[in-house]
Amino acid sequence: MGILSFLFGCKEENRYKDKHGNEIIEKGDETYIIPAEYEKSGEKYKIFLRNETDKPVSIKDKFTLQPNEEKIFEFVDTDSILFNIGPKIYFGDTGLEVEDKKGELAGIGGEYWKKYKVPDDVEYGFVIVPSGEGDMPTE
């Protein structure tokens, strides 16, 4: 009887690797990601940024986004994106990483990718939002 409950309690597992070499494990309604080690090579990526705050936001040594303005730009994996409001985007040991202590960045995909009409050749997308509305939990 114990073996039967074990067999019926097991969820089927689906494993695969994404285009960045990360191992994705889907088990029932849960998804796990085992990040691949990332080696910086000077590769360029296209990034979409949109400012949904009521204030201009500057990206150090690059440009300023006015409220409700968006921009697609190339980002080299050996560089960093430093925002005047605090967040930072960079490539670390496991690929693209974000530091955002005040929760001012929201990563986008799926329906939001379509909503903002982000082209297919863009690899990453973020929206700058009011403090506390981003993806990172704030204290």
Give the model's confidence band at 6: pLDDT under 50 very low, under 70 low, under 90 confident, else very high. very low
- State mean pLDDT over 66-79: 94
Show me where the domains of the chain are located.
2-34, 44-128
- Report which of residues 68 and 7 the model is more confident about: 68
- How do residues 25-40 score in pLDDT, each as one tens digit? 888 878 777 777 778 8
Stated pTM of the model = 0.73
Using DSSP, state whether 7 is helix, strand or coil: helix
The angle at the Cα of 90, spanning 135 to 27, to the nearest 5 degrees, equals: 50
CATH class name, domain 44-128: mainly beta
108: enclosing H helix or E strand: none
Residue 92's Cβ-side half-sphere holds a number of Cα atoms within 13 Å equal to 7
Torsion of CA 109, 80, 38, 110, to 10 degrees: 0
At residue 7, does pLDDT exceed 70?
no
